[in-house]
Chain A
Amino acid sequence: MTNVGYIIAAYVITLGALALYGLHLWSRLRSVERQLAGLTIDKRLHHGCQ
């Protein structure tokens, strides 16, 4: 590997991993927000029925 290859590898791996982690966080946040919205609607319906 040339020196340029080492530089590119270091930057691509680091920035790529950070971008993937960012996407992972975004996806988890969306998922928990959807779950919470569902639970809140359930709770309102439950209280409405009583």
Chain B
Amino acid sequence: MIGRHLANGLGILALLTVLVGLYMAFFYAPADALMGDVQRIMYIHVPTAWVAFFAFFMVFVSSLVYLWKRLPEADRLAYASAEIGALFTGLTLIDGSIWGKPTWGIWWTWDARLTTTAILFVIYVGYLMLRSFVEEPDRRARLAALVGIVGFIDVPITYMSVLWFRTLHQPPSIQRGGSSMPDTMLFTLLLNVGAYTLVYLFFLVKRVRIESLNAIAETLVAEKAVHD
């Protein structure tokens, strides 16, 4: 388990990086030639989407590890990551919608990228609901792991949707061949991606600690009940 001082240090680093990222998004990166200042929403929209994908990848890997080794720690990591990932997916949908209104003239459309992201959100909210419905811990962890593995299929579909389908949503800002953005924009975007990844890691450490302490508390309560 990561020490408390290390976790708090991670939190401070995440906060500082977010502040630097905010400064760069508003005062360092230039306005977009076509969209103008409203394109600055990209510096929060792309990082939240990236973190959501990364969080669900962690759910996928932890779920595989749980099914293979039956480690409760892997189940706790998957649970924590799914909760944070669902939050970031919700925020991606909201800030994307806010960006869509001045750019496309609409808050929402059933475009491939938007629809697959909404499905992703529903899958992981469903994952969290499933965990709250099943009381028996082993069965809950097993079922959740299955949803965590099968649900991840939607992540590459969401990512590739802008390339596979004719969509209103723009293609990925950064692709294998490079980026069409000027360096100042690209650097600001990458710094913000790093900043929100640190926020995710900080939340993950704290959320896993809550689950670990909850497990210890449950054991103590059970022991107390046996003694009484």
> In the complex, how many residues of chain A place their beta carbon closer than 8 angstroms to a beta carbon of chain B?
28
Q: Chain B, interface size: which category?
A: 35 or more
Q: How many A-B residue pairs have CB under 8 A?
A: 81
Interface string of B30-66 (1 = CB under 8 A from A): 0000001110110011001000000000000000000
A50 to B41, CA, bound (A): 64
Contact A43 B220 (CB under 8 A): yes
Contact A6 B207 (CB under 8 A): no
- What is the distance, in angstroms, from B53's C-beta to the closest C-beta of chain A? 16
Contact B87 A17 (CB under 8 A): yes
Contact B44 A11 (CB under 8 A): yes
Q: A14-B95, A29-B206 are in contact. Are A7 and B40 (CB under 8 A)?
A: yes
Q: A21-B203, A35-B217, A40-B220 are in contact. Are A3 and B95 (CB under 8 A)?
A: no
Contact B41 A7 (CB under 8 A): yes
Interface residues of B in 62-116 (CB under 8 A from A): 84, 87, 90-91, 94-95, 98-99, 101-102
Interface residues of B in 99-141 (CB under 8 A from A): 99, 101-102
Inside 8 A of B209's CB, which chain A residues have their CB? Answer: 29
A6 to B104, CA, bound (A): 13
Contact B221 A10 (CB under 8 A): no
Contact B227 A46 (CB under 8 A): yes
Q: Please tell me if B216 contacts chain A, counting CB pairs below 8 Å.
A: yes
Name the prevailing secondary structure of the A interface residues.
Answer: helix
Inside 8 A of A42's CB, which chain B residues have their CB? Answer: 220, 224
Contact A10 B45 (CB under 8 A): yes
Apart from the given pairs A21-B87, A25-B210, A26-B206, 6 other A-B contacts in the complex at a CB distance below 8 Å:
A11-B22, A13-B95, A18-B91, A35-B217, A40-B220, A43-B224
Interface of B with A (CB < 8 Å)? 18, 22, 36-38, 40-41, 44-45, 48, 84, 87, 90-91, 94-95, 98-99, 101-102, 199, 203, 206-207, 209-210, 213-214, 216-217, 220-221, 223-224, 227
